């Protein structure tokens, strides 16, 4: 058998190595249009920022070592330009000699990746404007940054890569602005979690501009001038475009392969394209979202590597291993914070008309009596019918990764919030609490699901009708330090003695700092004849972050 693989980074390299492990006698040829194979895409921003000091650390394998270890014919700087699916051949161009030739295959694997979005804005091709997708991009950026270490950087796009680049450029000493067209950073997460991270970014002195887009670029002596849709301009020494990526489907289209609704290469559950002899993996493919059932792309290294393994197994042994899709579990370091997500956000669940309930908790990363505990903000979405966990989002500092992996495993297995309640974690004071933040998220979700606690949310404060009363149940000292406008203060420890001052014919809206005392107060009122009582999900902490960011967004829109 002869296997040909197009693309030698995550999915392609993984497919090739697995094919060799499963079939020692096969002929395997892998084509890569770039100079490097099997490199750590996710490490590129950290090499630019000098966190990763040695460039060689980015390379898992070289073409020579891959060939030596796996006996695979690796052809770098060679671009596959067409596929003849009828005759089962590809045409390749050697980019050094510019010669074209054909290569036959029995089975073909496409792993062409995705292309960065580079919109046709005026001046988009000026010197100093970069996208970051591969090692060559990284080398250009690093060389340029080394010449402008005390300059100004503008990062266009507030996604995962954009935030990583902003942080690393900031640590190099550059003054950084982030320009984001949407009303929040990190589109896969919901606003209440994004707001917390945005406040953290602003606290570092980074200029974060939301609801703002770039209209074009100009050259001004040796500097760039970034023109915004607000009619403002920002002088810059370097611009990083991190607007997004799109699946590279050029070969698939040329070969007549089917594309899906998300404009990616359509694959079945075995990662097989519409041609039975051609498989595809990685950023270029699309598949059904396990939660919404709708077609989606995912641009993550983890799924691509797993797809490569499954694809190779199906090629060698016949289609006997299904790929069950990705729930897009992702994590990013944003200065001192860590942000993680898995599943489908509330806004996307709503857009897909999937009923769900939300719970927000703010727990300590480990036992509060052990030094160094920091707050961890968790939002989960779950089905009102059976408690199935649909998404989880965390913003925090220490231990975010392990909590997200716990939550992600529950989402992946279609399990419920009830499992969160019983999840057994490794506990000692430096690492967790007897009731882990994941347990707490489950407890609160169960209270909501069982109607023991009825939540309302930060963006519903202004909708409280004239017949409602907003009560702050925190201490007098906390209340004086800051509270929600038009609220009255009745500390929880005084609540029972002041029941007669609260009219039973009105709707009661409670809040505390993070939600716990509000819940306890709700239980007191419910069991003393108060029927219409609501507790602010996430408490004053959530409202404060969201309200602050909402005001900034409103001011930006008004300025336009």
Average pLDDT for residues 490-514, to the nearest whole number? 96
- How many whole angstroms separate alpha carbon 342 and alpha carbon 189? 9
Cα dihedral 179, 183, 293, 299, rounded to 10, equals 10
Question: What is the per-residue DSSP string for 520-558?
Answer: HHHHHHHTTT--SEEEETTHHHHHHHHHHHHHHHHHHHH
What is the sign, positive or negative, of the torsion defined by CA atoms of 464, 467, 473, 476? Answer: positive
* Residue indicated by tokens 């100079």: 35
Q: Are 376 and 401 in contact (CB under 8 A)?
A: no
Q: Are 510 and 522 in contact (CB under 8 A)?
A: yes
| Confidence label for 462 from pLDDT (cuts 50, 70 and 90) | confident
pTM reported for the whole predicted model: 0.94
Strands across the sheet containing 207-209: 129-131, 238-241, 152-156, 175-179, 207-209
| Confidence label for 543 from pLDDT (cuts 50, 70 and 90) | very high
3-state secondary structure (DSSP) of residue 377: strand
CB atoms within 10 A of CB 213: 16
The string of pLDDT tens digits covering residues 422-433 is 999 999 999 999
3-state secondary structure (DSSP) of residue 221: coil
Q: What size, in residues, is the chain?
A: 560
The string of pLDDT tens digits covering residues 357-405 is 999 999 999 999 999 999 999 999 999 999 999 999 999 999 999 999 9
- How many whole angstroms separate alpha carbon 444 and alpha carbon 359? 7
Q: Are 374 and 400 in contact (CB under 8 A)?
A: no
- How many whole angstroms separate alpha carbon 559 and alpha carbon 184? 17
pLDDT of residue 321: 97
Q: 467 is written with which tokens? A: 């017949």
Whether the pLDDT of residue 199 is over 90: the answer is yes
Find, among 423, 433, 332, the residue nearest to 373 by Cα: 433
Strands across the sheet containing 100-104: 78-84, 89-94, 100-104
Find, among 156, 117, 122, the residue nearest to 133 by Cα: 117
pLDDT of residue 323: 96
Q: Are 237 and 126 in contact (CB under 8 A)?
A: no
| Confidence label for 206 from pLDDT (cuts 50, 70 and 90) | very high
As a whole number, the mean pLDDT across the chain is 95
Q: 547 is written with which tokens? A: 């309200």
Whether the pLDDT of residue 59 is over 90: the answer is no
What long-range pairs does 421-430 form, CB within 8 A, spacing at least 24? 421/446, 429/366, 429/367, 429/369, 429/370, 430/366, 430/367, 430/370
The string of pLDDT tens digits covering residues 115-150 is 999 999 999 999 999 999 889 899 999 999 988 878
CB atoms within 10 A of CB 20: 19
- How many whole angstroms separate alpha carbon 208 and alpha carbon 502? 43
- Rounded to whole angstroms, what are the CA distances from 433 to 367, 369, 399, 428, 438? 5, 10, 12, 7, 10
pLDDT of residue 556: 65
Average pLDDT for residues 153-160, to the nearest whole number? 96
- How many whole angstroms separate alpha carbon 266 and alpha carbon 114? 15
pLDDT more than 90, % of the chain: 90
pLDDT of residue 422: 95
β 278-280/107-110 pair status? parallel
- How many whole angstroms separate alpha carbon 510 and alpha carbon 532? 11
pLDDT of residue 554: 72
What is the sign, positive or negative, of the torsion defined by CA atoms of 259, 265, 269, 275? Answer: positive
pLDDT of residue 427: 96
Would you please indicate which residues are annotated as catalytic (active-site) residues? 42
β 468-472/488-489 pair status? parallel
Average pLDDT for residues 210-221, to the nearest whole number? 94
Average pLDDT for residues 347-362, to the nearest whole number? 97
Q: 205 is written with which tokens? A: 């002195």
pLDDT of residue 558: 57
Non-local (6+) Cβ contacts of 272 within 8 A are 278, 279, 314, 319
- Out of 135-139, 151-155, 335-339, 551-555, least confident range: 551-555
């Amino acid at each position: 058998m002869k296997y040909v693989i197009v693309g030698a980074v995550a999915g392609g390299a993984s497919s090739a190595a697995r094919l060799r492990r499963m079939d020692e006698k096969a002929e395997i040829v892998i084509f890569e249009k770039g100079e490097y194979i099997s490199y750590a895409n996710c490490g590129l921003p950290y090499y630019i920022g000098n966190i990763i000091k040695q460039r060689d650390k980015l390379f898992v394998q070289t073409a020579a070592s891959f060939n030596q270890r796996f006996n695979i014919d690796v052809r770098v700087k060679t671009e596959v330009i067409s596929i003849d699916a009828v005759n089962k051949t590809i045409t390749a161009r050697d980019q050094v000699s510019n010669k074209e030739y054909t290569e036959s295959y029995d089975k073909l694997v496409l792993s062409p990746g995705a292309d960065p979005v580079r919109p046709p804005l005026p001046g988009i091709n000026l010197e100093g404007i970069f996208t970051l997708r591969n090692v060559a991009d990284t080398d250009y950026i690093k060389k340029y940054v080394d010449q402008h270490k005390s300059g100004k950087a503008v990062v266009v796009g507030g996604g995962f890569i954009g935030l990583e680049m902003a942080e690393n450029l900031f640590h190099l000493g550059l003054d950084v602005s982030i320009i984001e067209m949407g009303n929040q950073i990190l589109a896969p997460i919901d606003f209440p979690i994004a707001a917390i991270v945005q406040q953290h970014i602003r606290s570092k002195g980074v200029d974060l501009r939301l609801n703002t887009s770039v209209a074009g670029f100009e050259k001004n002596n040796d500097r760039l001038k970034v023109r915004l849709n607000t009619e403002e301009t920002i002088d810059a020494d370097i611009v990083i475009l991190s607007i997004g990526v799109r699946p590279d489907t050029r070969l698939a289209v040329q070969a007549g392969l089917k594309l899906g609704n998300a404009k990616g290469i359509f694959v079945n559950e075995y990662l097989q394209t519409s041609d039975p002899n051609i498989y595809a993996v990685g950023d270029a493919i699309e598949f059904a979202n396990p939660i919404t059932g709708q077609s989606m792309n995912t641009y993550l290294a983890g799924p691509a590597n797993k797809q490569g393994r499954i694809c190779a197994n199906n090629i060698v042994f016949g289609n006997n291993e299904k790929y069950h899709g990705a729930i897009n579990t992702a994590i990013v370091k944003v200065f001192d914070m860590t942000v993680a997500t898995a599943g489908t956000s509330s806004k996307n669940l709503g857009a897909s008309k999937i009923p769900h309930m939300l719970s927000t908790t703010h727990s300590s990363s480990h036992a509060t009596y052990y030094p160094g505990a920091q707050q961890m903000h968790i939002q989960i979405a779950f089905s009102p019918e059976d408690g199935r966990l649909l998404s989880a989002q965390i913003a925090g500092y220490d231990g975010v990764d392990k909590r997200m992996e716990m939550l992600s495993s529950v989402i992946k297995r279609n399990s419920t919030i009830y499992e969160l309640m019983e999840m057994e974690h490794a506990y000692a004071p430096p690492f967790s609490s007897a009731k882990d933040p994941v347990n707490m998220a489950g407890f609160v979700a169960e209270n909501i699901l069982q109607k023991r606690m009825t939540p309302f949310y930060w963006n519903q404060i202004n909708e409280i009708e004239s017949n409602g009363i907003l009560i702050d149940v925190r201490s007098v000292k906390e209340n004086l330090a800051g509270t929600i406008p038009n609220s009255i203060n009745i500390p929880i420890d005084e609540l029972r003695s002041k029941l007669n001052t609260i009219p039973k014919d009105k709707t009661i809206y409670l809040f505390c700092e993070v939600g716990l005392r509000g819940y306890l107060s709700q239980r007191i009122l419910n069991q003393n004849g108060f029927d219409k009582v609501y507790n602010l999900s996430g408490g004053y902490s959530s409202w404060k972050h969201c309200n602050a960011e909402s005001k900034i967004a409103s001011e930006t829109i008004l300025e336009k």
